[in-house]
Amino acid sequence: MHEGLNQWTFVFAAYAIGVSATGALVAWSWMAMRRAEARRERSRER
């Protein structure tokens, strides 16, 4: 351990970034999939 750093600050930052990035990846991929599949359905109906 160096300079008396509070290790929990680094731990929380790593978890917050990891969870947010993974959550954003899942949400974005899911919404992109739903959007693309809705587009395909619309193209069938035209």
Backbone angles phi, psi at 13, to 5 degrees: -60, -45
* Contacts (CB under 8 A) with another protein, residues 1-40: 1-3, 5, 7-8, 10-11, 13-15, 17-19, 21-22, 25-26, 29-30, 32-33, 35-37, 39-40
CA distances from 16 to 4, 5, 20, 27 (A): 22, 19, 6, 16
Q: Could you tell me how many residues of this chain bind another protein (CB under 8 A)?
A: 31
C-alpha span between 30 and 21 (Å, rounded): 14
Return residues touching another protein (CB under 8 A). 1-3, 5, 7-8, 10-11, 13-15, 17-19, 21-22, 25-26, 29-30, 32-33, 35-37, 39-40, 42-44, 46
